[in-house]
Amino acid sequence: MTSVRAAVAEAARRLAAAGVPSPRVDAEELAAHVLGVERRDLARPAVGDCEVPDAYAVLVAQREARVPLQHLTGAAYFRYLVLAVGPGVFVPRPETEVVAQAAIDAARALSAPRVVDLGTGSGAIAVAVATEVPGSEVFAVEADPLAHAWAARNVEGTGVELRLGDFATAFPDLDGSVDVVVSNPPYIPPDAVPLDPEVREHDPELALYGGGEDGLAALRVVERTARRLLRAGGLLVAEHADSQGDSAPAVLRAAAAWDDVADVQDLAGRPRYVTARRRGEQP
């Protein structure tokens, strides 16, 4: 008999050798998933000393082959949320939590704010806003049918209005009435193929590559849509790569429709997102 404790230790060694960034944590998360318990429960003798299920070895082998942990467990953690994820949808990253925070802070300062999430993917930002800003009216759009299906699961019961479609033409019925537009658009330049096999082989290309030589073609579309949707003084929050701390704000400044264009760093001190206010007289 192989105990859960021994199996986790061996799995951690294998995952480390495979280059998994957090081998012990991932080994424990997979064990907890198979056993249907919380990760902290693995320390209990009643759990750690029991025989490991055969399914655990299968999951470890997949993780060793760099299948994302979230695809194996079917769950991704984002702020206070546990989101359903899997093949066909971009797995939300911790750094995007500060982007969501900026949208949440702006929405909280208003009464009954109207917020739009362009290119919602799993629905992470939209659901975070809807659940953390009581009284908010949140809309989200996603073009990829597979990602849209995952988002539909995650927005259920939150009040988020989710639509399937291109964010270039999204929500014409909301033109000029939105308080906050937030987006984590694709922004990787076409010649900058990610080195991480989990990103390169498992995240959908539509969610990765921003288009254009600089990777900012998608941001330019976001800018045009946000310009159309936002009321005067409304806020745009858009994520970008850490190498685009100058070029992303330049996209907005070139449009001559924005005030207070600013770039903001994440918790690690890297350029992470740009904000801007829709130019025009306040209503």
Instruction: Give the burial string for 124-148 (b: 16+ CB within 10 Å, else e).
Output: bbbbbbbbbbeebbbbbbbbbeebb
* CA gap 174, 154 in Å, rounded: 23
Task: For residue 121, say whether it is annotated as part of any ligand binding site.
Answer: yes
Who has greater pLDDT, 149 or 198?
149
Q: Which amino acid is at 72?
A: L
Q: What is the pLDDT of residue 193?
A: 57
Task: For residue 185, say whether it is annotated as part of any ligand binding site.
Answer: yes
Could you tell me which residues come within 8 angstroms of residue 76 by beta carbon, excluding any fewer than 6 positions away? 70, 82, 83, 85, 91, 92, 122, 124
Task: For residue 113, say whether it is annotated as part of any ligand binding site.
Answer: no
Task: For residue 183, say whether it is annotated as part of any ligand binding site.
Answer: no
SS3 content of the chain, % helix, strand, coil (to 5): 40, 20, 35
Q: Which alpha helices (DSSP H) does 123-273 contain, by range? A: 124-132, 145-155, 197-202, 217-229, 247-255
Q: What is the overall mean pLDDT for the chain?
A: 90
Read off the pTM.
Answer: 0.90
Q: Residue for token digits 């659940």?
A: 131
Q: Which of 10-24, 55-69, 115-129, 191-205 has the lowest mean pLDDT?
A: 191-205
Task: For residue 245, say whether it is annotated as part of any ligand binding site.
Answer: no
Task: For residue 119, say whether it is annotated as part of any ligand binding site.
Answer: yes
Structural contact between residues 206 and 142, judged by C-beta atoms closer than 8 angstroms: no
Categorize the per-residue pLDDT at 281 as very low, low, confident or very high, splitting at 50, 70 and 90.
low
Q: What is the mean pLDDT of residues 136-157?
A: 96
Task: For residue 77, say whether it is annotated as part of any ligand binding site.
Answer: no
Handedness of CA 68, 71, 75, 79 (dihedral sign): positive
Task: Classify domain 87-278 at the CATH superfamily level.
Answer: Vaccinia Virus protein VP39 (3.40.50.150)
Task: For residue 53, say whether it is annotated as part of any ligand binding site.
Answer: no
Task: For residue 123, say whether it is annotated as part of any ligand binding site.
Answer: yes
What percent of the chain is modeled with pLDDT above 70? 91
* CA gap 36, 30 in Å, rounded: 10
Task: For residue 247, say whether it is annotated as part of any ligand binding site.
Answer: no
Categorize the per-residue pLDDT at 283 as very low, low, confident or very high, splitting at 50, 70 and 90.
very low
Q: What would the pLDDT profile of 98-110 be if each residue is shown by its tens digit?
A: 999 999 999 999 9
Q: DSSP 3-state assignment of 277? A: strand
Q: Which amino acid is at 109?
A: A
Q: Is the pLDDT of residue 280 over 90?
A: no
Who has greater pLDDT, 192 or 13?
13
Q: Is the pLDDT of residue 208 over 70?
A: no
